[in-house]
Chains A and B, each alone.
Chain A
Amino acid sequence: MRTAYVSERMLKPQPAPLQKARGWGAARIGGTLGTAFWALIGLAILVNFIIGYDHDFVARYAPRMLGGLWTTVWIVAVSLVLGALLSMLITAARLSQNRAVAGIGFAYVTFFRGTPLLAQVFLVYYGSGEFRAFFEAIGLWWFFREAIYCALFTFTLNTAAYQAEIYRGAIQSVPDTQREAGWALGLPRKVIFRQIIAPQAMTIALRPLGNEIIIMIKGSAIASVITVFDLMGETRLAFSRSFDFQVYLWAALMYLALVETLRRIWDALETRLTHHLER
């Protein structure tokens, strides 16, 4: 004989219980006011733009600012890539058994991480003029004469120091047993590093690396101080000619859009690459 385990009578579907109304406490009032404040600022920028729409003004400065945005993007991209290459060398120096070499790596990283980027840019841009004869002799004066190349050069040196620290920390946080296991298998050192250490280290380095990219985008605004016409430089020029404060707000929105887009892309990338580590 079979017993039916299915209930004979089903309960009628019920509506969800009524949610308790949230009271208007201090937190809710404060939060709503705060959110409204931001919404109001956004609206004010938009309304101001539409009402005060000045075709000549936009036609004159919008393309320039977009061009500046492009300059910002490529300065940051190039210095990040070159900095990554340079940082490999510095990381190797930092992790070297030779104390003198490790000391040089340490001094480099400490100097570039311990001083303001603006001071470094000044040091390279104005300081290189003092060695003009030397640079002319070795045929590099065309490079150091241009503000934009000086900015690129300084950003590269600077990000190399930060990236070296990121890679060093990541490599050191891969457990020693991984290396030892590779040894036990009789793998050559090169293979151990490339196939075992580096992939794990890069996964760890991913997050701080994303932060470094964002810091570089923001830091690159400093180039405008030595007359580079990146987004910030174009914005300052537009302001000094028009005295229209709006341009600064546009620039802020552009930087914000750039940083937020990158952050989202990086988050997606990280989720994808560390998928196997999630529990």
Chain B
Amino acid sequence: MAESLALLSFGETGWGDELAAGAWLTIRLALATLPFGLVLGFLIALAKVSGEPALRRGANIYTTIFRGVPELLTLFIVYYGGQIALQAFIGLFTDTYVEVSGFVAGMIALALVFSAFSSEVFVAALKAIPKGQGEAAWALGMSRRATLQSVILPQLIRLALPGLSNLWLILLKETALVSVIALDDLLRRTSVAVGNTKEPFLFYMVACLIYLAFSLISAFGLGKVERWTRRGEAR
């Protein structure tokens, strides 16, 4: 027990600070992905409910692809494919070697997947808002933009939040995949620690518990926010 604690302590001999740095990167990656995934997902959702068939088709193909391909494969395609494409593009001008940052590749891949799923949540929420709301705003002479901003969005957030919180929890766990492309997230740091200490069970269990703590804290916080958004509803 004391040995385990020594291994997990912060400082020169313990791995605590390495794990903490990894956990911090995991959080940063998830938080950096979130806004892109949300905005992209919302735009895709708007395309899906649009009256224009071509737009709907394009958006539906997008979601079919990114919901059907494994996240790990999406990550590899973005990471290696991005590398090849960028190298080819840079190669047109100079012959310097460029490397795609694992963080950015991870962020793009996770945002693509997140947006595909979040667009479904947004579509369901948009459809749940009664048509009369938009029509009333129209009748009042509000512009489309004003309608979206002050009539649709406030209701949308309330309806979409449960689905989005679920997606956030999934995203948090999916960040673990970036450890495969050698980005120093929590899981990768844990693997390094295991390689050095030969204590796989202890370290992977600690990593699991850290992820679990993140999940529980997020679930608790999001539950509070959800209750706050529903404060105006009759019980």
A contacts, CB < 8 Å to B: 25, 27-28, 30-35, 37-38, 110-111, 113-120, 122-123, 126-127, 129-131, 214, 217-222, 224-225, 232, 235-236, 239, 245, 248-249, 251-252, 255-256, 259-260
CB contact under 8 A between A260 and B211, given known A31-B54, A34-B58, A126-B200: no
A93 to B: closest C-beta gap in Å: 19
B46 to A: closest C-beta gap in Å: 10
Map CB proximity to A onto B25-67 as digits: 1 under 8 Å, 0 otherwise. Answer: 0000000000000000000000100111111111101101101
From B9-17, B76-84, B99-107, B225-233, give the one contacting chain A.
Answer: B76-84
Which listed residue (B61, B65, B71, B191) contacts A122, Cβ 8 A? B191
A140 to B: closest C-beta gap in Å: 16
B: number of interface residues (CB 8 Å): 52
Are the CB atoms of B173 and A35 closer together than 8 Å? no
Q: Which residues of A contact B179 (CB under 8 A)?
A: 118
Which listed residue (B54, B173, B191) contacts A117, Cβ 8 A? B173
B122 to A: closest C-beta gap in Å: 17
Secondary structure class of chain A's binding surface, majority of residues: helix
Q: Which residue of A lies closest to B213 (CB)?
A: A114
Are the CB atoms of A115 and B80 closer together than 8 Å? no
Which listed residue (B65, B176, B194, B201) contacts A116, Cβ 8 A? B176
23 contacts between A and B (CB under 8 A): A28-B52, A28-B55, A31-B50, A31-B54, A31-B57, A34-B54, A34-B55, A35-B57, A38-B61, A111-B212, A114-B169, A114-B211, A114-B215, A114-B216, A115-B173, A116-B176, A119-B190, A119-B207, A123-B200, A221-B70, A222-B177, A252-B77, A255-B69
Are the CB atoms of B52 and A129 closer together than 8 Å? no
Are the CB atoms of A37 and B58 closer together than 8 Å? yes
Are the CB atoms of A127 and B73 closer together than 8 Å? no
CA distance A118 to B216 in the complex (A): 18
Q: Which residues of B contact A113 (CB under 8 A)?
A: 215
CA distance A217 to B69 in the complex (A): 9
Q: Which residues of A contact B58 (CB under 8 A)?
A: 30-31, 33-35, 37-38
B146 interfacial contact with A, CB 8 Å: no
Are the CB atoms of B201 and A131 closer together than 8 Å? yes
A-B pairs, 3 with minimum CB distance:
A34-B58, A31-B54, A31-B55
CA distance A160 to B227 in the complex (A): 30
Are the CB atoms of B211 and A31 closer together than 8 Å? no
Are the CB atoms of B61 and A35 closer together than 8 Å? yes
Are the CB atoms of B53 and A31 closer together than 8 Å? yes
Which listed residue (A27, A119, A129, A260) contacts B176, Cβ 8 A? A119
CA distance A218 to B190 in the complex (A): 24
Are the CB atoms of B77 and A249 closer together than 8 Å? yes
B135 interfacial contact with A, CB 8 Å: no
Are the CB atoms of B212 and A110 closer together than 8 Å? yes
B68 interfacial contact with A, CB 8 Å: yes
Q: Which residues of A contact B56 (CB under 8 A)?
A: 31
CA distance A276 to B60 in the complex (A): 29
CB contact under 8 A between A122 and B73, given known A35-B58, A116-B211: no
Q: Which residues of A contact B204 (CB under 8 A)?
A: 119, 122-123, 126-127
CA distance A192 to B67 in the complex (A): 39
CA distance A221 to B84 in the complex (A): 23
B180 interfacial contact with A, CB 8 Å: yes
CA distance A259 to B68 in the complex (A): 6
Are the CB atoms of A115 and B211 closer together than 8 Å? yes
B153 to A: closest C-beta gap in Å: 20
Q: Which residue of A lies closest to B214 (CB)?
A: A114
CA distance A114 to B166 in the complex (A): 11
CB contact under 8 A between A248 and B76, given known A32-B54, A111-B212, A255-B69: yes
CA distance A219 to B70 in the complex (A): 7
B7 interfacial contact with A, CB 8 Å: no
Q: Which residues of B contact A248 (CB under 8 A)?
A: 73, 76-77, 80-81
Are the CB atoms of A245 and B72 closer together than 8 Å? no
